[in-house]
Each structure stands twice: as C-alpha cells, then as structure tokens.
Amino acid sequence: MSTLFDQTRIGSLELKNRFVRSATYDALADAEGKVTENQINFYTKLANGGVGLILTGITNVIPSGKITMDHNSIHSDDYVQGLKQLTTSVHQKGAKIAVQLFHAGKDRAGLLKALNITDEKALAPSFLNNDTEYNEYYRSMTENDILKIIQAFGDAAVRAKEAGFDAVQIHGAHSYLFSQFLSPLTNQRIDNWGGSLENRLRIHHETLKDIKEKVGEDYPVLIKFGIYDGLPGGLKFSEGKKAAQYLAEFGFDAIEVSNGLRGDDYEESEFKAKIDCPEREAYFRNYCREIKSLVNIPVLMVGGLRSFELINDIIKKKDADYVSLCRPFIREPDIVNRWESGNSRKSKCISCNKCIDDIVMQGKQLCCAIIDD
C-alpha cells in the first residue's frame, strides 16, 4: 500500500503528499529580483499539478549574495508584496511553498567579473590565491561580514513569513556559501569559523538560531545539505554524515540530501545527466538511507528520481520521508497528478541538462528545451 499520497507533517507544516519540487532557479524574476507575472503563472501551474511542497529557486538575502541578474531576492521589505501574490496563488491551488534562502559566497565573483565590477569583491570564507581567473574579484570575509550575513538570513525569514511562505529552506549545498564554509578545501580560517567540523558548521548553527529567534520555534526551517564534495581533498561523506547529525541536533526541521562543492563535470554535481536506466536513478539513495538511520528529522531525497515504482520503493523502504524532484517538473509540471491518477509511466525527462546549458545559462526563462509532445 503506497504511503506516497498520505498526509504528513514537517514540524508544523502539513503536507498533502510526499512529493516536493526541489529548488529550481527559473530566470523569471525581473532585473531587481522581484516576482513577475510570468513567474506567478509558472508557480501556479506547478501547484495545480499536484505537488505537495514547492521549494522556490535561489532567493538571495542580501545583495552580496546575488549570483545572476534574474533570480529572486528577499533582501528588503520591497520584495514582500510580490512574493505574497505568488504564495497566495500557490495556496489557492492547494500546494505549500517554502522559499530557498541563498547566499552565493565566493561564486558571486563570476557575476562581478562578467559585469566588470571592480569596486566590490565577492565574499568567501577564505582567500585562497589559487584561482587566477577570480583572484581579483573576491576576498576573505571578516567576522563582521559573517555576522551581517547571518542576520540577513534571519531578517529574510521574517519577510518570508510575512509573505505567506509556509517554511524556509537554507541553501547549504552545491558550491555556495554554506558549502564553502563546511568544505576543508575552501574554508582555511583559523578563527572560530574554521578548522574543526563544529567550527565549519558554526554559520549553519548561528543562522538557524537567528531565524528561529526572529520567526519563532514553530516556523519550519529546512536545509538542503551537501554531504560530500565532488572534488579531491574536499568534504568526505564520513564527515558529512556527522555534520548532518549536528544539524538535526541544532534543530533544523528537515534535511534534503545533496552534494557540496561540485567537481569538474555534471557527473560530480547535483545534476547528473543521462538518467536513462534504473541504475542511474536516485543517485543519493545510499547516502540518504544512511543519514536517515542517524537523524530523527524528516529526510528529503533528491537527485535522479524518475520512475514511480522506484519512488514508491524508496518511501516503502523508508530510505527517505519525502521525494524531491526538479527536472521532471520542468518537463511535466503535472506529473504528480498523472501518477496519482494511476498512469505510472516514468518521467519523460531524459536529463539532457539542456534546461541548464541552453536555457537558463543563456538568460532564457526556464522551460524544457526538447519538449516534443
């Protein structure tokens, strides 16, 4: 008997099924990072398609965190009204929505370079002086920079709650700020924010504390978490799983398991390509299973989930509590309704990654690049 369509909760957040749309940058915001009508339509269609919880794309909490010109922001009160229209429309279709709070850290250097901005530097845990391309465009953070960013996450969560979001998710994965702090490759600080695992996780803990103090203990705070790096010398899973245990102890309400720093190609990243056979699917399943056995908070599995039978098996075997999908929803926003209606054909998404390479990376609004039906 499937429990995929059972009602469940993440803390105070009630969900109608176990399907999550994982955070997806859609290049639909305007040049200031504000919500657009196109974006409201995009999210409304998604909510109408049956998914229980939608995680927005990266939404920066302070201008120093921005990485492209067309992702959303929540760094001032001016953004609340547009976001409220978006959450209202999603709620009217019966889905819940959480905003993914984001800071790019060092990765903002790419945008500064592209725009030839030389009077601002991207903020990194450490200046490594090993990156000839970006050396001029980033610097090591002072403790004041760190404290300012932590407070910006807390303030952003207040705005998120006011805008009607049901929860927030901290982006603690991929190559961005929180992964940069956790990775021994990119964090070489010798103060309280570097060195031991506890120190490299201090920003995660302090950010959670600031958010909960400002929005209340009951407001759900999720984290997408990179449990290993795809680069030699980076975070190993043996340390990543210990880190996941700490996050549960700190009081995060749920953890979505992904990778930390990306390697050189898609195979060493969160979006592996060519998921064309069952063996290529669910590429974080083994990590998820182990983390689920170690923590007492809900675990979301993301990465290459394409077949209904496999997804059902993941939930039945309790390898995760929720299943989180990105690329399948780009191809078929109503895939959950289809599966619920009994049509269990696998996702039409072939994981070609053209939605990344040919669409959003080219400044185009998110869509499937090869829809042929």
Ligand X SMILES: Cc1cc2nc3c(=O)[nH]c(=O)nc-3n(C[C@H](O)[C@H](O)[C@H](O)COP(=O)(O)O)c2cc1C
Residues at the interface with ligand X (CB under 6 A): 22-25, 57-58, 100, 171, 173, 224, 258, 270-271, 302-305, 325-328, 355-356, 360, 366
Minimum CB–partner distance for residue 40 and ligand X (Å): 18
Q: Measured between alpha carbons, how far is 321 from 217 in angstroms, rounded to an integer?
A: 22
Q: Which is nearer to ligand X, 228 or 271 (CB)?
A: 271
Q: Give the three-class secondary structure for 53.
A: strand
Minimum CB–partner distance for residue 23 and ligand X (Å): 3
Q: Which is nearer to ligand X, 231 or 367 (CB)?
A: 367
Residue pair 120/112 in contact by the 8 Å Cβ criterion: yes
Minimum CB–partner distance for residue 118 and ligand X (Å): 27
To which residue do tokens 């072939």 refer?
350
Residue 321 phi/psi, 5° resolution? Answer: -95, -25
To which residue do tokens 């390509």 refer?
273
Residue pair 174/119 in contact by the 8 Å Cβ criterion: no
Q: Which is nearer to ligand X, 121 or 180 (CB)?
A: 180
- Catalytic site includes residue 176: yes
Pairing of strands 8-10, 13-15: antiparallel
Q: Measured between alpha carbons, how far is 322 from 193 in angstroms, rounded to an integer?
A: 32
Q: Which two tokens stand for residue 92?
A: 């009217």
The active-site residue out of 176, 219, 228, 287 is 176
Mention every residue, 6+ apart, whose C-beta is less than 8 A from residue 291.
Answer: 227, 241, 244, 255, 257, 299
Q: Which two tokens stand for residue 122?
A: 């991207």
Minimum CB–partner distance for residue 191 and ligand X (Å): 28
Q: Which is nearer to ligand X, 315 or 356 (CB)?
A: 356
Q: Which two tokens stand for residue 85?
A: 């229209």
Burial class (CB in 10 A: 0-12, 13-18, 19+), 83: buried
Q: Which amino acid is at 244?
A: A
Q: Which is nearer to ligand X, 125 or 328 (CB)?
A: 328
Q: Measured between alpha carbons, how far is 156 from 79 in angstroms, rounded to an integer?
A: 10
Q: Measured between alpha carbons, how far is 87 from 93 in angstroms, rounded to an integer?
A: 10
Q: Which is nearer to ligand X, 121 or 204 (CB)?
A: 204
Residue pair 129/154 in contact by the 8 Å Cβ criterion: no
Minimum CB–partner distance for residue 245 and ligand X (Å): 21
Q: Which is nearer to ligand X, 68 or 121 (CB)?
A: 68
Minimum CB–partner distance for residue 130 and ligand X (Å): 26
The closest alpha carbon to 234, from 177, 179, 303, belongs to 179
Q: Which amino acid is at 241?
A: K
Minimum CB–partner distance for residue 21 and ligand X (Å): 9
Show which residues are catalytic.
Answer: 176
